[in-house]
Chains A and B, each alone.
Chain A
């Protein structure tokens, strides 16, 4: 199968994720969408890795997964902290840091 299809799929997933991040106010959904974007990148990494026959891309993909796991941990921790303070789970209302 030519590499193009993989890249098209990857781009689609990435765009879905990016659109989610930009449009949804719920931080949980934003985190999910971020995962989508990361995995889209993973997909293209693995695809390129197959194309060249090396394993560097696959190693990168594994590392991205580790980073993603960490990021989700932190993100969920933040959401739990927000909930405990009885604040709205809505990123648009968390705008204390404006200039």
Chain B
């Protein structure tokens, strides 16, 4: 089979899974829906491997294949085809998406076990994977936009999955609105590109770019900036990031899948896919790099002070995606995509471990109430440590090789990029601190009541289920989380995917060791063959220098966390008092929510009220509607008088009218 056939199969299986689970919803009992969903994604993953093997069989110059199923719309100047593009980049993304999704499906089979919306959950999850795969396999801008919007919709459905929880539905709406803003950016950006290239197809559009656009041409920069708006919204970059921490209202496996491993990396993929555009418009690319850098620092500072364990991981996701956006914007494509891959492994692992921990706490997510779970949950603890070490960039874990690869590239480009690189190291230091703050607070110290009970062999259950954000009481019916909690220690179905990801988080880095195999870089090389920036890659020596600095910084970060939270447990309170001002800033998330509220929400509300009181009531209801009805009423009053009701009067009118007509024709004919 050809790679494109496999490409279509990758899309087919999750779609089939959605349809089958969605339609047979009342007949599926027990864990059937979960296993069907998992099988669908496993088949998609197998197809992705098939695509990988077949594409490696082609020679390096022939690894870019398109296939069109049918013409959706081909008309004057627009060629909207249902086509996919199979090249190393899309195969790489499809492998990560389907692979990590498969593991998370397995985890969910157990984790969501007692939830009344079990079947619905897997239908949504399959739909999400389908959308994401559509996004990465799309062969033209149109299909990319469709996949992009589908992913936003799937994210909305899954964040609001517990639809009776008010905080969850509000978070879903917030995410959806911000994502739609990104969609709009993407559509307008596409238009700017299309205006000049005249084609929606990726391959031909990118081939034309150097001919139709001059360096930093206004329209191209505008288009790229609009594409960046789309990327920022989807990848939770400042200032469109506020939805991501709120998205933690969804079930924990959803956070692992969508808000860590796959969906939020769509922006990184977008920039990598559009690299011929961005290289022709360095002004826009620089904006991407600066925003990525700002995001990684802002998110890291917030992650140090928030107490909700899922939100700590969410902010660390934002921060890591900041690295990736910065990487792809400056041309470190293979490093950024490598980081995307390793990040999806260790971040999914961290979320899964956090899910297990939250289950042990009976749904409680606050770090303030956790403590000392090390002995009670050895497996979760080991997974968390592995994920944490990979995240903070400790050698030889995968995150070290990938993150510091990006920073090494920045340092190599020099100039202002050097500053971004140094800020990247600052972020790395913060990463080490907040990751191990979380680990030390949850797993070390005196065991909390729940941990002690678990050591005795009893899994803690809250007496009444409650919302971890507001503390409101809930029940366990449909629309709320189910009654039973599952921890990895007791459920091999959860243990298996976590073990797998832990293994990948440790050894995933071997795919690209500078100077030894450079696997990712060599595999992706055909996609980035036309890139000028790639040719100017740092030497192996400077790469290793960057890695060494990164390792030292990670160790410093972890030791600071160790000193603050283990050696002298009271230090954090003292630090908080000493640095009250930055602490207030960080704990209020840099006031971004308030800023958006002030800058966007309030003017919009004011505009709405104005439109209601003035436009709607005075102009529309009074002016337009009122005058039209008055006109019609007066007109009909005049006409009504002609209707006398006398039959002979009507007959006479007909006769007179006809005679008049006949006379007219007689006169004009002579």
Contacts and interface: CB of A to CB of B under 8 A. Distances in A.
Interface of A: 18, 21-23, 25, 30, 91-92, 94-99
A92 B644 CA distance: 10
7 contacts: A18-B655, A22-B648, A92-B648, A96-B645, A97-B645, A98-B644, A98-B646
A21 B653 CA distance: 12
Contact of B645 (A18, A21, A30, A98): A98
A84 to B, nearest CB: 19
Q: Which 9 A-B residue pairs are closest in the complex by CB-CB distance?
A: A98-B645, A95-B645, A99-B643, A99-B640, A91-B647, A97-B645, A98-B644, A21-B651, A22-B652
B646 A92 contact: yes
A4 to B, nearest CB: 16
B643 A97 contact: yes
Interface in B631-670: 639-648, 651-652, 655
A50 B77 CA distance: 63
B646 A91 contact: yes
Contacts of B640: 99
Contacts of A98: 643-646
Contacts of A96: 645
Contact of B642 (A18, A30, A99): A99
A96 B644 CA distance: 9
Nearest to A95: B645
B634 to A, nearest CB: 14
Contact of A99 (B639, B647, B651, B655): B639
A97 B650 CA distance: 12
Q: Which of B639, B640, B648 has the most CB of A within 10 A?
A: B648
Contacts of B645: 94-99
B635 to A, nearest CB: 13
Contacts of B642: 99
A91 B643 contact: no
A92 B652 CA distance: 13
A21 to B, nearest CB: 5
Contact of A91 (B639, B648, B655): B648
Contacts of B652: 22
Contacts of B644: 95, 98-99
Contacts of A18: 655
B651 to A, nearest CB: 5
Nearest to A23: B648
Given A22-B652, A92-B646, A99-B641, 15 more contacts: A18-B655, A22-B648, A22-B651, A23-B648, A30-B647, A91-B646, A94-B645, A94-B647, A95-B647, A96-B645, A97-B645, A98-B644, A98-B645, A99-B640, A99-B644
Nearest to B651: A21
Contact of A25 (B641, B648, B655): B648
Nearest to B637: A99
Nearest to B639: A99
